[in-house]
């Protein structure tokens, strides 16, 4: 970061060109389920995770914990978990008349993604000294979700795709990954180079759902 006279860091200027490029980043971030098997270059995952730490957090508590899942047996346990949870989801969707469409969706890239990352929240962290969460303890989980989104954008800026897998039974995950039982499981992420770059959500392209116009979500009182 540039330093101005007197040692104070000088704030960068974000111009129209940057804003245009930043919007491109937002628009071309995708949830990725199709990965090339190529590994990430050495040090890149650590760089992405370091940048994700710049996310805001309640009380500056940094309550996120990223578990890089490398062990084949632990990965297999998560894949089993997904297979079971997805079968149950398919049964529910079938009852709701959507089974045939649901069965066609690819909802995780667990078998081909070179990086598996489990993300947890420390529910009552010392860091932050409780600030901001006395009445809303769930802000710890919100902080972790924001860090994941930060990681998602930073990864995309490095041409790395990220897929969020939530079709999982969370209770058994801390034990499967040998982390403290009280940690709250937030997400299981797959990362790697995407097979293709896409301008629209895969669920939209598959005809499952469509993105609504922004103004449909605004209220004024
Ligand atoms: C909290 C959360 C959980 C998600 N879980 C899954 C999942 O289990 N499987 C999946 O294929 N996509 C999952 N997604 C991705 C969404 O389907 C995706 O973000 C949405 O369809 C919009 O597509 P886009 O991210 O490419 O813009 C999840 C996204 C979020 C934010």
pLDDT tens digits, residue range 101-117? 999 999 999 999 999 99
Residue 220: pLDDT over 60 = yes
Distance of CA 143 from the midpoint of ligand 1 (Å): 18
**Pocket probe mutation, ligand 1, options 31, 33, 188, max atoms within 8 Å of Cβ:** 31
Confidence label for 5 from pLDDT (cuts 50, 70 and 90) = low
Q: State pLDDT tens for residues 13-27.
A: 999 999 999 999 999
Query: Assign residue 11 a region: left if phi > 0, alpha if psi is -120 to 50, beta otherwise?
Result: beta
* Percent of the chain clearing pLDDT 90 (strictly above): 96
Of 109, 152, 164, 207, best ligand 1 pocket probe by most atoms within 8 Å of the beta carbon: 164
201 lines ligand 1 (CB under 6 A): yes
If you take atom 29 of ligand 1, which residue's CA is the nearest one? 164
CA nearest ligand 1 atom 30, residue? 164
Closest to 125 in 3D by CA, of 76, 184, 63: 63
Q: Using one digit for the tens of pLDDT, what is the confidence trace for 56-101?
A: 999 999 999 999 999 999 999 999 999 999 999 999 999 999 999 9
Q: What is the residue extent of each domain of the chain? A: 32-207
181, pLDDT greater than 80: yes
Predicted TM-score of the model (pTM): 0.96
What pLDDT is stored for residue 7 in this prediction? 77
Fold of 32-207: NADH Oxidase (3.40.109)
Among protein residues, the one whose CA lies closest to atom 26 of ligand 1: 30
Backbone phi, psi, residue 185, to 5°: -70, 125
pLDDT of residue 2: 54
pLDDT tens, residue by residue, 120-158: 999 999 999 999 999 999 999 999 999 999 999 999 999
Evaluate: CB of 165 within 6 angstroms of ligand 1. yes
Q: What pLDDT score does 3 carry?
A: 56
Distance CA 109, CA 118 (A): 14
Contact yes or no for 174/180 (Cβ under 8 A): yes
213: pLDDT strictly greater than 70: yes
Q: What is the mean pLDDT of residues 3-8?
A: 67
Q: What's the CA gap between 106 and 208, in Å, rounded? A: 12
Mean pLDDT of the chain: 97
């Amino acid at each position: 970061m540039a330093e101005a006279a007197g040692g104070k860091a000088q704030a960068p200027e974000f111009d129209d060109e940057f804003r245009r490029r930043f919007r491109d980043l937002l628009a071309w971030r995708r949830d990725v389920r199709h990965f090339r098997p190529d590994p990430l270059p050495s040090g890149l995952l650590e760089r992405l995770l370091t940048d994700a730490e710049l996310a805001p957090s309640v009380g500056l508590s940094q309550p996120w914990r990223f578990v890089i899942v490398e062990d084949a047996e632990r990965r297999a346990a998560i894949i089993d978990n997904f297979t079971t949870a997805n079968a149950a989801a398919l049964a529910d969707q079938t009852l709701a008349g959507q089974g045939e469409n649901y069965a066609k969706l690819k909802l995780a890239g667990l078998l081909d993604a070179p990086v598996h990352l489990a993300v947890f929240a420390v529910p009552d962290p010392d860091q932050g000294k409780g600030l901001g969460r006395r009445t809303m303890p769930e802000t710890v989980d919100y902080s972790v979700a924001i860090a994941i989104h930060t990681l998602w954008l930073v990864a995309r800026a490095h041409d790395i795709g990220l897929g969020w897998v939530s079709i999982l039974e969370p209770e058994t995950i801390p034990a499967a990954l040998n982390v403290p039982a009280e940690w709250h499981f937030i997400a299981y992420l797959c990362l790697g180079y995407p097979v293709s770059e896409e301008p629209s959500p895969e669920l939209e392209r598959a005809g499952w759902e469509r993105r609504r116009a922004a103004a449909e979500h605004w209220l004024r009182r």
